[in-house]
């Protein structure tokens, strides 16, 4: 199975290793680096031999954007974009607003929101979440407040047909810094592990999630 066909089969299953740079005020621009281990078909190199196969695949940010677009090909969007049957505009970025919000967005090159991945399609889900239990440290002074939270974070996905899905968890640290000039946030999910069912195959996933952004509106 070539890379294109496998990506189509697994839909957006690759979002298991993420990093982000704070390039757009109010959003955390996300860069994806992930690994998927998928059980694939057995092969029979000899009449008396069966070989059990696992496919290991790396997925990038560009691949994920190309897979999200068909889910929303018939939706109407603002700022002049009508739909994305051929993919998102050149320069589009994946982003989140802040960790506890959990929603992914697609931004155009100028930083305008052209797609709220979570709310625009009721049958498609891609988001971050966290357990209500947490511990935190920090301080509050006249000029700055810092809050450092530790959660068990969750990363969840299901496609519009319910055929492809994953659910993974990882120890998550979130740091909020509040100053008179605005608020900034960074987060990191480590030891990410979980499973899913993708393209008709069982899958095991691993990785990390990192993000940071400035001037976050809470």
pLDDT in tens, the chain (218 residues): 444 333 433 333 334 555 555 456 678 777 767 788 989 999 999 999 999 999 987 777 777 787 788 777 654 444 445 567 677 888 888 888 888 888 888 888 888 888 888 765 567 888 888 888 999 999 999 999 999 999 998 888 888 888 888 888 989 888 999 988 888 888 888 887 888 888 888 988 877 766 667 655 44
Two tokens at 114?
A: 């052209």
Within 10 Å of residue 95's Cβ, how many Cβ atoms? 23
Q: Is the pTM of this model over 0.85?
A: no
Looking at residue 85, what is its pLDDT? 65
CA 211, chain centre distance (Å): 11
Query: For 75, left (φ over 0), alpha (ψ -120 to 50), or beta?
Result: beta
Looking at residue 112, what is its pLDDT? 86
Looking at residue 45, what is its pLDDT? 92
For 39, 55, 57, 63, 147, the CA distances from 52, given in Å and listed in that order, are 8, 10, 17, 27, 48
Q: What phi, psi does 92 have (nearest 5°)?
A: -65, 150
Looking at residue 210, what is its pLDDT? 65
Burial of 39 (0-12, 13-18, 19+ CB in 10 A): middle
Q: Which of 172, 167, 171 is nearest to 155 (CA)?
A: 167
Q: How far apart are CA 205 and CA 22, in angstroms?
A: 26
């Amino acid at each position: 199975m070539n890379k294109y066909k496998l990506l189509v089969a697994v839909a957006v299953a690759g979002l298991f290793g993420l990093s982000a740079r704070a390039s757009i005020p109010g959003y955390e621009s996300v860069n994806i680096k992930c690994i998927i281990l998928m059980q694939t078909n057995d092969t029979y190199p000899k009449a008396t031999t069966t070989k059990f196969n696992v496919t290991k695949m790396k997925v990038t940010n560009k691949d994920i954007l190309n897979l999200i677009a068909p889910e929303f090909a018939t939706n109407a969007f603002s700022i002049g974009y009508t739909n994305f049957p051929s993919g998102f505009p050149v320069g589009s970025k994946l982003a989140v607003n802040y960790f506890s919000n959990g929603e992914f967005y697609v931004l155009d090159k100028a930083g305008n929101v052209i797609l709220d991945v979570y709310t625009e399609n009721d049958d498609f889900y891609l988001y971050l979440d966290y357990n209500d239990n947490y511990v935190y440290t920090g301080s509050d002074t006249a000029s700055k407040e810092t809050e450092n939270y530790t959660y068990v974070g969750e990363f969840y996905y299901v496609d519009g047909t319910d055929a492809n899905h994953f659910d993974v968890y990882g120890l998550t640290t979130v740091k909020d810094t509040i100053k008179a000039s605005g608020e900034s946030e960074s987060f990191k999910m480590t030891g990410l592990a979980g499973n899913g069912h993708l393209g008709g195959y069982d899958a095991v996933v691993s990785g990390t999630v990192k993000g940071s952004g400035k001037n976050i509106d809470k």
